[in-house]
Amino acid sequence: MSRSDAPPSVDAPERDDAPLVSMDNVEVHFEKEQGLFEFFEEPDVVRAVDGISLDIEENDVLALVGESGCGKSTFGKTSIGLQRPTGGSVRYRGQDIWDAKDGVGDVDIPFDEIRSSLQIIHQDPGSSLNPNQKIVEILSQPIKLTHPDVGLSERRERIYSLLERVGMNPASDFADRYPHQLSGGEKQRVALSRALLMNPDLILADEAISALDVSLRVEMMDLMLDLQDDFNTSFVFISHDLSNARYFAEHGDGRIGVMYLGELVEIGPAEDLIENPGHPYTNVLRWATPDLSLHSAGAGEPPMRKIDIPDPVNPPSGCRFHTRCPEARETCREVSPELGGDAGAHRSACFRGDPDHEYWDSPVLED
């Protein structure tokens, strides 16, 4: 379907030279909940996101992958203004999101407009759909919010058109059902439709396919990418499964970002990152994902020294992966590598990418 044939929606705002979303040295630190006998002690701080800088462009696709607890979801929610950072800045088209929220300085883009432009699809769509409302009522809300003058008849026409576009036929039948009368895949299509009716510039898909049957995951990813073409929408796609991240980023001509203990340790075009990982942790993820169909991955012992993940309250010094890395040297324990290079290029935060780095003369790290 061409852009002109897409269901009617809000006109896109004028584009400018600023990235769609720009994150500069973003930190999100949480105080860990304390027990009864810890009340008078200084609370521990979890470094969920720790100094990430990243731009998301128009019609971009970024797939974030990493082990549970690495900070993927926190980073994603921060990118769309659902989580306030404790350090750094998050900008939408050049406007600081939280300055807009707080009314600080000259606000060029109101916070309500920013929130409408940055949407989310949750892992469990059922929890985000009102069980007491029919689907047509749920999908009417974003239209009422963005186009309050649109009448009942036109609202239904728009809703039916989009339901048919996401494969829910006949639309009139699905529109009059309640969420509990839908399958998991159908609920996710409703959640996607609701987000698209806001005509967003960016959608965060936070583990949006992990609860679906394996047979439906590729179908849902294909649908999101097809609708991206129709609605000119960017995606931040979060997954703990590298094969899903690879499929989504590769078919969306996008990037994969690898997170470890709150840091972005590698990012690059999907196929290049999968075939030529620059960070040892990415190699661990390849090993743990046998359906990548790579000759060099998924065989033999895991490519790391230790299985246990360090405590995010007290992450290791230097490179945070050095306690598990089979390639670690003394320099890795002392110095933290930066994610250097140009935006859009394949970048990794590992000293091994520089043939002249002192890493090569440093003693091998002993267990």
Out of 3.40.50.300, 3.40.220.10, 2.60.40.420, 2.60.40.1930, select the CATH number for domain 3-10+42-361.
3.40.50.300
Task: Give the rounded percent of residues in the chain with a pLDDT score beyond 90.
Answer: 74
Mean pLDDT over all residues of the chain?
A: 89
pLDDT tens-place string over residues 293-305: 665 555 567 788 8
3-state DSSP assignment of residue 128? helix
List the chain domain ranges: 3-10+42-361
Give CA 78 to chain center in angstroms: 10
State the Cα–Cα distance between residues 175 and 159, nearest whole angstrom: 8
% of the chain exceeding 70 in pLDDT:
91
Record the pTM: 0.89
> Residue 135: what pLDDT?
96
Q: In what order do the strands lie in the sheet with 21-31?
A: 45-56, 21-31, 87-92, 95-96
Instruction: Give mean pLDDT, residues 214-239.
Output: 94
Chain centre to alpha carbon of residue 195: 15
User: Which of 303, 355, 308 lies closest to 69 in space, CA to CA?
Assistant: 308
63 with 256: CB under 8 angstroms? Answer: yes
pLDDT at 41: 66
Report in angstroms the alpha-carbon separations of 212 from 39, 77, 161, 220: 41, 22, 24, 9
For residue 133 the two structure tokens come to 């409302």
What is the tens place of the pLDDT at every residue in 114-159?
Answer: 999 999 998 888 788 999 999 999 999 999 988 888 889 999 999 9
Report the pLDDT value the prediction gives residue 301, as an integer from 0 to 100: 74
Q: Specify burial of residue 221 (Cβ count, 10 A radius: 0-12, 13-18, 19+).
A: buried
pLDDT number for residue 3: 36
SS3 content of the chain, % helix, strand, coil (to 5): 35, 20, 45
pLDDT, residue 39, reads: 54
Which pLDDT does position 294 carry in this prediction? Answer: 62
Beta bridge partners of 89: 24
Give helix 184-196 / helix 135-146 axis angle, nearest 10°. 10
Q: Is the pLDDT of residue 313 over 60?
A: yes
Q: Is the pLDDT of residue 359 over 50?
A: yes
Q: Which residue from 243, 253, 277, 271 is spatially nearest to 348, judged by alpha carbons?
A: 277
pLDDT value, residue 342: 78
In this model, does residue 192 exceed pLDDT 70? yes
CA distance to 62, 255, 293, 367, per residue, from 275 (Å) = 18, 13, 11, 29
pLDDT in tens, 233-261: 999 999 999 999 999 999 999 999 999 99
Question: Distance of CA 16 to CAs 71, 104, 280, 282, Å?
Answer: 30, 22, 38, 34
Please state whether beta strands 347-348 and 263-269 pair in parallel, antiparallel, or not at all (unpaired).
antiparallel
> For residues 93 and 51, what is the distance between their CA atoms, to the nearest angstrom?
21
Residue 7 predicted with pLDDT over 60: no
> Each residue of 265-284: pLDDT tens digit?
999 999 999 999 999 999 99
